[in-house]
Structure formats: structure tokens, C-alpha cells
Amino acid sequence: MELLKHDLPHEFPEFLEKISQLKASDAHFSTLAEHYDAHNHAITQYEQGKEAMADDELEVLKKKRLDLKDQIYQMLKAG
């Protein structure tokens, strides 16, 4: 089974330029993106069998990633 990619360029391909601009110009957006990437990396490591984690910890990370994604999307479509 191939894993889906959840990094920001795959989640929001229509906003690639805006993501780059906001990362460079908006500290809050940059922090959200960094946290999103960190959570996504941890989840990916688990899904690829490279890291172990409890099921409840995985669910918490996935919920945090989703919340961050929602916040990022709101900022992307606002401008």
C-alpha cells in the first residue's frame, strides 16, 4: 500500500507560491508550517515503520496536524 503524501505542497498545490511568500513574510504562518511539517514527519516515520508510537499518541498527532492544516488553509485563502 502506497502512503499518501500530506506535506503542504501536496495538500495545497494551488497555493505553492503563496506558501513560499507567507513562510518568508509572516512569522505566524511560518510557525504553523513548521509545526505542521514536524507533526507530518513524525506520522510519516510511524507509517513507514521507522518509528514506534502508541495508537493514542498517533491519533493526537493526526488531530493536531489536521488543526494546523485548517489554520494554514484559512490563512492561504484569506489573502
pLDDT in tens, 15-69: 999 999 999 999 999 999 999 999 999 999 999 989 999 999 999 999 999 999 9
pLDDT at position 16: 97
Query: Phi and psi dihedrals of 15, rounded to 5?
Result: -115, 20
Q: Which three cell numbers stand for residue 72?
A: 494554514
- Let me know if residue 48 belongs to a domain: yes
Q: Tell whether the model's pLDDT for residue 1 goes beyond 50.
A: no
Q: C-alpha cell of 56?
A: 493514542
| In-domain check, residue 72 | yes
Residue owning grid cell 510557525: 31
Q: Is residue 55 a part of any domain in this protein?
A: yes
Residue 53 lies in a domain: yes
Q: Is the pLDDT at 2 greater than 60, yes or no?
A: no
Q: Is it the case that residue 74 has pLDDT exceeding 50?
A: yes
Amino acid letter, residue 67:
D
CA 15 to chain centre: 14
Question: Is residue 74, in this structure, part of any structural domain at all?
Answer: yes
C-alpha closest to that of 62 among 3, 6, 1: 6
Q: What is the model's pLDDT at position 72?
A: 98
The tally of domains found in the chain comes to 1
Residue 59 domain-assigned (yes or no): yes
Considering the domain boundaries, does residue 67 fall inside one?
yes
Please indicate, yes or no, if residue 21 is contained in any of the structural domains.
no
Cα separation, 52 vs 8, in Å, equals: 24
Model pLDDT, residue 79: 66
Q: What's the domain range around 55? A: 27-78
